[in-house]
Each structure stands twice: as C-alpha cells, then as structure tokens.
Structure 1
C-alpha cells in the first residue's frame, strides 16, 4: 500500500520516463538493481573531505577523474572543452576529464541514472531534458548551497552567491533546496532581421493591429509574418503564449500556473493569448512548418521567408555559420494585444536558464562542485560568452567584450524595459509532465484542431491531475 506522499518505484520510473524499460525486455535487469539508491532519499550536499582549504573548498582529490556531459545544442560544447574543462585541468594538472556532448540527454542519461553510473556534471537542457524534480526526489542531485556559500575564485572575500544575479538563487530551488545552477541570461521574445526591416522601411509593430497590418504587407511579398518549429521546438510557441498572457494580465498569470492555482490555465489573459496567436497562425502562418525542426525553420528565417520567430538569445550563436551578410538578428518586444494590457509595450522576458547539476551519487561530486565554481568565475563566464556570444549570470564577466548585434539589441531592449520584465515559467522544471503535455497540445491548438478554450481546459485538467498526485513534489513561488 502506498501512503500519501510516498513514491513507489514504478511512479518514480514513470516520472523519469523509464516505464518502457520496466514493461519491456529490460524488466529483469531493472528489477535487479535500483536507481543508484532505492528511492525517497533527499538530496544532500556532498561530503567535504579533510583536505578542504580556502583554495580547494570542497576538498577535491586532484587525481580523481571527472566526467562532464553537455547538451550539444545552440551553445555547442566548445565552451566546455576549451574553457571550463581546460581551467579545471589547469587547476588540477594531470587530471582526466571525460567529455561527452549530445542532443539526446534523456535517451542517453536515463538508463545511467537507473543503473547508478552517472556523470559528475550534467548540462540538462534541450527537448530531451530530464525531470529534475524526479531526480531530486530520488536523491540524485547534489545540494549546491555549499557551492553558493563557497569563496569566489575572483574574490575569496565574497561568496559565490554574491557574484551572480539574484535570479540564480531564486531559480536554484527544488523542494526548498539549492539543486540547480542556471548559467545563462536569456532574452526570449520575437526575433527578426533588422537589415530586412531597414531595407523595407518597416517599423516594429507596437499594437496587435499594427502587427497584423505588417502581416498583410509581408504576405504580399510572399513572406510569413510568423512561424515556429512544430516538429522539434513547439515549446518555443508554448513559451511565447505564456509570455503573451503575462503581457496581457501581468506576471501573476504565470505565477498562478506555476503554483498550480485552481483554474490558472483558464484565466482570461491565457485564453486571449492563445486565441491571438491561433488567429495569427490561421491568417499569416503555414502549416508546413509543423513538420519542420528548429534548424530548418531558422534557415527559412535566414532566407527571409518569415519575419518573426519566437526564440531566445541563443539563436544568434546557433545560426552563426549559416547567417548571411544581409541578416542581422534583433529582438522585438511583444506588441500590445489589448488596449488594457497590464504590462506596457517594451516588456520583454529576461530569465536565467541552461541548467547544470552535480550528481550526488557520481564518482566525484566534489570535483563537480569545483567545476561549477570555475564556471562561475569571471574567466570561466567570459570564456563562455566569447565562445557562444551569449551572456552568463556572472556579474561583470562580459564587461568590455565586443558583443554581436543581436546581443546588443537584447541588452538595449532590457534597458528600455526597466522593471517591466516578464517572468519565466518554472513549471517547465518543476512539473515536466505538464510542460511536455503543453508542448504537444500547443501544436494541436495552433493547427486549429481544438479551440483556444479547449486547449486551456485540457491544460487545466492536466494541471489538476498533477496537483492531486501525491507522488509529485509540489513547489511554490511568490514572485
């Protein structure tokens, strides 16, 4: 019998996406081994060895190998190999660092977490990112409070937590513990080609009427107003709808969704946001894009076949090798959807992202903590920006760098937004089952197969199921 709050092994494996292994040919193997600890053990800080010092605060064994797995997406993995791992090797000469980069985080890592053979550092990102709340519930994530309280490499008189943007600490928590490092600052909005707009004499639309009027102009020239990748990347549009709802009704719309508040998905701003974008898709979109992945869609934009693309500031680096000279990435705030939007024109989403975790049950968790501390040094963060043309959460690390046009545009938009910053949706990491469901359903509603009201009702039904599921640890936020 399972009592309220208990998590059975089958429930946990379901949340980790491993039920196929349990039900299938591997059932015998899994019945013979646990997930590196048979469930329910709270995540804890790795033990600090007796050799700890001010320079080596976690007591890293300088000869112990370290394994790092990186999501090989928009940021690539050169920043890890050439910067962070190189700095780690410099700190511990002769140490072996095993490096792996993959876009199939879940496919490759789930079996390893089940067997207990885990990497020390994991960059958990991309469409196959793992359910961090589920991993935390199994005790797989090292407590990072010791990292945040450790002396900064740049100024040992300061703690690491005092050298990063406060959003890092706010977003680190699962069940009240600091378990996740969000490393990048991203700007998610509508991205466009500034050179195309300049050549056409077009200005950015500030109202929805101006937005659709521009869509009519673009259509006459064979250009789509808007598109998103329906095959790999529909969550870009889910983000876009959520941020639009916050633009209409304020950040409380997203906060209520994150907190599983009753009928949060059925709130009027959410319905208005979905309806507005469904209308745009119907009038100015192309259903062929539902069959394209993110790279194919982004190539279409580089060919000026679509104007606005809902994505984050990593896009510039991701497409750097394909970007023609007549294309210049720039950020466009969401137009006013109604005349009574709670957030003014110019509000944009600025958040922290790109998750990194240390495996509590890895072979070298102390080394994993030190690797993250190196990442959070100015040298480590500056190197990341130079390699990826994206900003990190480390204060002042990019000072003096010659930033690319898109990043300059994002920084300018952030300055113009002031306090009008759209919050990030945290249920993506808290309740991955809900986020994955939304990622599927956004295609359904955007294709016109269900109404916006039905989409919101279905999302609410899913949220209600998760709220009632005692096996799912509940999280809360106040802002």
Structure 2
C-alpha cells in the first residue's frame, strides 16, 4: 500500500510555511499557497515510500472515451459526453478545503451547486490543518474526493506524487468545457496552468488561483507622505529610508515564514538575470546559484535592507498575519505577498487604506523591466488516486473551470482564477485586486513564475531556511548562495528530476 511518510511534527521536524495560513499561492492562496500558496510552504518531509497505485481498468477506459457510453464501473454511471467521468447520481462527495486567506464560502457554494445538479450529498471540511487532518486518511487508503492542498500545513505535492497518491487529471483537460462543449477544458486555461500542476510529466494538480506576487503599499499613506511608488530598487531603498526617518519601517516581512522574503529575493534574481536565471534554478543547473551574478546581486540587495536597518522593527519574529496587520496599521511602507493578501486582511484593513500592488522594482541593468511580474497558478486542488468517488472528484474539478464557478470564486474570495475571461465583467473588484489586474495588463507577456517549490519541496525548504538565517544576520549573502546551491545539487539526485525540465 502506498503511504505518505511522516512530516512536520510527526517526524520530529519543525513546521514551516509557504505563505498565509490562508494563502499559499497557492497561492497564493491565502501560500503561495500557496502556496500557498502559498499563498505557505510547509512541513519538512521524509523520503516518499510505497508503490505507484494504478487506476482501475474500468476507470481508465472510461476516461479514454471520446464520446459514447462505456462499461459501468463500481459506483460509476455510464460515461457520456455530458457525463465524461461517469458520476453516479445520489452518491457522496467528500471535499476538504484549506480555509485561509480565501476563506471557504466559495467552496460551500460550489458544493451546493454540485449537489443540486448531481443529487449528491457533499461533506465539507474547511481547515488550516491539511497534514494533521489528512495524512492518516491518505495512509489508510480513505482520502477525500477533492482536496485544496494548501497552507502552512499542506502535504508536499512531490511527496504525494511519489507515493502514488495523486490521480492523473489529464482526462479533465481533455473533457468538454461546460461553457462551450466544442472546446476542451485545456483550451480555456491561462498559459502556464498545466505546466504549474505537472509532476514527473503528469498533470496531477489544478493550481486554480491566478496569483500575482510583489510588494504592496497603502495608497493613502503614500499620498499623505508625498511618496512616489518606486520603479527601481534604488528608488525603493529611498522610500524605505524616508519611511525610517518618519518613524515607520521600510519593509515588513513575515519573518516566521521566509517563503515571503523569498518572493523578493527570487524575483530580483529573475529580473536581474532574465528568464534564463529563473530556469537555471528550476532545472537544477550547477551554476543556478554559485557562479550566477544575478543570484548574488539579488540576495545582496535584500541583505542591504537588514544592514541599513530598513526593516520594520521585530518583523523577523512575526507570523504572516502579525506582520500584515502591523502593515495595515501603517507601521511599514511595504510588505511582500501574493494577491491573496487583500482578502486575507479584509478585517484588519482600514476602509480608506487603498491597498495597491507594486511589481518588484528591478536592480540596475536588469534584463526584465519594472512591469514584469511573477504571476501564475496557485492554490493546488487535487483528486486523490484512492478517492471513494473519483468520478465525482474529477467532475467537481471540471466544474471549477466553468465561468459560473470562477465568478463565484471571484465574488467570494476577491481573486482571479486560471480560467480565461473567467469572471463576469459586471463583478466589481476591490482596490488591491484592481491594481493587480492593472499590473498584469501592463506586464503583457512579461510574466514569469518559478516551479521548483512544487517540484522539489525539500529544496524549497532548504532555501527558505537559508533566507531565515540571512534575515537574522546569522549568515552572509555568500553563505546563502552556498546553501542554496547545495540544495539544488541534492535535488538533482532525485530520479524524478529528469522529468521536470523547462525549455
């Protein structure tokens, strides 16, 4: 039987985060997703154990069908064009959602719509304890049917994949779109969505939330102080210096969760060295960090904030919500995060705060312009391989990619999804979300996104740990480079690395 190895406290290891305990990013969301994000990267992992589980022949034949009916499998209705996965009427659907920055009201609305259409009885769990609630269920062979695997306690995606716990979602991509049956679902997605959710050459996670990463500031504070939003790193340092002189921190960051300060470091590297510098890290190249001038420039720039005392006092010891709330109280000029931030901070944000997004101001002689932003799919939804109602789980994911459900998410969570034109234009967005949309429009094709956090969880953890030491002045930039390269070299020994390659 495939099992998930103990992680985090279960293995005697300290937890970490990828972003808001939303997210993280997913995203990110509410991390990186997130995320996290995530939106949030998470718990340190042990090596994955177990054999790859193989879908039943009946299920495989059903998903491979292009149209007419096929033989009915266990708990499965006949497969048709309208019911491509054979969802049984009147069955049960078990949904677990990370309840962080995006909340979970959107999922409850989805489940109600799904139950109405299919006559199912959905059970819902909104939680921030994904690992705590689900690890034993995965190991016991009775996982939920759909999981939003995000937050500070998400289960590492690569761990689940290696343990054979993730269903292949390619059949969803090849199914007809609910909005236009003449199109496949894959043709309705924003570019990069499929790549973001691919492990070892298989599409196994739908990163649903389209997240933008960078700095955030208060339009009200900047107007009152007469500050101009910076477009270069030198201008950014100048504003941080003015903030310090005014008794305000320049930069707040979520110190207990170094995922966030890595947004700054890694974005500076990508902008300074261009897409090739980013791909070198994702592709585990020997000079990804060591011998890469862009990497050294990026980490030295962030360390300058530490040396010059431009951080908000105490920020290194705060959680994401603590730092973000202090920022909402005008105790810092900037904070890094994904676009889940606005929804996550709704209760703490003053009505006239005027939250605004700022692309990462580039270093001098950067290959990517100021307008370039890290943007991509976050908040990974999965269907477990051993789900009791796998057909229902796959259909639920297909429904998520309809304009109707995408609009519900935008209304409930104040964030965009990976569905092209997936939000009713009559829906009014909040200031932060509006500014993120404007930034995406200004960026055009100048968007980028790292894949290593999902491909190599242990490597991501090691880089976050190095950044934590850096911000606390326990190591210098060159030691950070050395530790990050060591993490890359270790990840390169992973047999699955040959399947994770960016061109």
Same fold (TM over 0.5): yes
Q: Which residue of 1 aligns with 2:248?
A: 223
Q: Which residue of 2 aligns with 1:67?
A: 94
Q: Which residue of 2 aligns with 1:39?
A: 51
Which of 224, 231, 254 is matched with 1:206 structurally?
A: 231
Q: C-alpha distance in 2, partners of 1:172/1:305?
A: 37
- 2:426 corresponds to 1:400: yes
Contact 2:463–2:487 (CA under 8 A) maintained in structure 1: no
Q: C-alpha distance in 2, partners of 1:265/1:450?
A: 16
Contact 1:43–1:360 (CA under 8 A) maintained in structure 2: yes
Secondary structure of 2:492 counterpart: helix
| 1:183-209 per-position Cα deviation (integer Å, ceiling 9, x unaligned) | 111110001111111122211112222
Distance of aligned partners of 1:111 and 1:473 in 2 relative to their CA distance in 1, 3 Å threshold: farther
Structure with the larger RCO, 1 or 2 (CA within 8 Å, 6+ apart) = 1
Which structure 1 segments of 5+ residues have no match? 1-7, 22-36
Contact 2:193–2:376 (CA under 8 A) maintained in structure 1: no
Secondary structure of 1:68 counterpart: strand
- 2:5 corresponds to 1:13: yes
Which of 84, 90, 101 is matched with 1:57 structurally?
A: 84
> What is the Cα deviation at residue 473 of structure 1?
4.8
Distance of aligned partners of 1:258 and 1:417 in 2 relative to their CA distance in 1, 3 Å threshold: same
User: How do 1:127-138 residues align onto structure 2 when only pairs under 5 Å count?
Assistant: 127-138=152-163
Contact 2:265–2:298 (CA under 8 A) maintained in structure 1: yes
Q: C-alpha distance in 1, partners of 2:55/2:337?
A: 33
Q: Which residue of 2 aligns with 1:25?
A: none
| 1:432-479 per-position Cα deviation (integer Å, ceiling 9, x unaligned) | 011112222211011111011101101111221221244x55443335
Q: Which residue of 2 aligns with 1:3?
A: none
| 1:231-262 per-position Cα deviation (integer Å, ceiling 9, x unaligned) | 2x320111221111011111221211111111
Contact 2:201–2:500 (CA under 8 A) maintained in structure 1: no
Q: C-alpha distance in 1, partners of 2:88/2:2?
A: 34
Which of 305, 313, 322 is matched with 2:339 structurally?
A: 313
- 2:471 corresponds to 1:446: yes
> What is the Cα deviation at residue 358 of structure 1?
0.4
Q: C-alpha distance in 1, partners of 2:302/2:149?
A: 29
Secondary structure of 2:5 counterpart: helix
User: How do 1:418-433 residues align onto structure 2 when only pairs under 5 Å count?
Assistant: 418-421=444-447, 423-433=448-458
Q: C-alpha distance in 2, partners of 1:63/1:193?
A: 49
Contact 1:44–1:142 (CA under 8 A) maintained in structure 2: no
Q: C-alpha distance in 2, partners of 1:191/1:165?
A: 24
| 1:207-242 per-position Cα deviation (integer Å, ceiling 9, x unaligned) | 2222222122111211111021112x3201112211
Secondary structure of 1:428 counterpart: helix
Distance of aligned partners of 1:420 and 1:369 in 2 relative to their CA distance in 1, 3 Å threshold: same
Q: Which residue of 2 aligns with 1:468?
A: 493
> What is the Cα deviation at residue 281 of structure 1?
2.5
Q: Which residue of 1 aligns with 2:269?
A: 245
Secondary structure of 1:335 counterpart: coil
Contact 1:18–1:110 (CA under 8 A) maintained in structure 2: no
Secondary structure of 1:242 counterpart: helix
Q: Which residue of 2 aligns with 1:32?
A: none
> What is the Cα deviation at residue 291 of structure 1?
1.5
> What is the Cα deviation at residue 400 of structure 1?
2.6
Which of 206, 209, 216 is matched with 1:191 structurally?
A: 216
Contact 1:43–1:136 (CA under 8 A) maintained in structure 2: no
User: How do 1:257-406 residues align onto structure 2 when only pairs under 5 Å count?
Assistant: 257-266=281-290, 267-283=292-308, 284-286=310-312, 288-338=314-364, 340-398=365-423, 399-406=425-432
Contact 1:72–1:102 (CA under 8 A) maintained in structure 2: yes
Q: C-alpha distance in 2, partners of 1:393/1:365?
A: 23
Q: C-alpha distance in 2, partners of 1:229/1:18?
A: 21
- TM-score, length basis structure 1: 0.89
Contact 1:41–1:137 (CA under 8 A) maintained in structure 2: no
> What is the Cα deviation at residue 114 of structure 1?
1.4
Q: C-alpha distance in 1, partners of 2:2/2:491?
A: 18
Q: Which residue of 2 aligns with 1:5?
A: none
- 2:428 corresponds to 1:416: no
Contact 1:173–1:179 (CA under 8 A) maintained in structure 2: yes
- TM-score, length basis structure 2: 0.85
Distance of aligned partners of 1:413 and 1:469 in 2 relative to their CA distance in 1, 3 Å threshold: closer
Q: Which residue of 2 aligns with 1:78?
A: 105
| 1:128-149 per-position Cα deviation (integer Å, ceiling 9, x unaligned) | 2212222122221111111011
Q: How many residues align?
A: 450
> What is the Cα deviation at residue 324 of structure 1?
0.7
> What is the Cα deviation at residue 109 of structure 1?
1.7
Q: Which residue of 1 aligns with 2:39?
A: none
Q: C-alpha distance in 2, partners of 1:43/1:417?
A: 42
Contact 2:95–2:144 (CA under 8 A) maintained in structure 1: yes
Secondary structure of 2:475 counterpart: coil
Moved more, 205-214 or 217-226: 205-214
Moved more, 393-402 or 314-323: 393-402
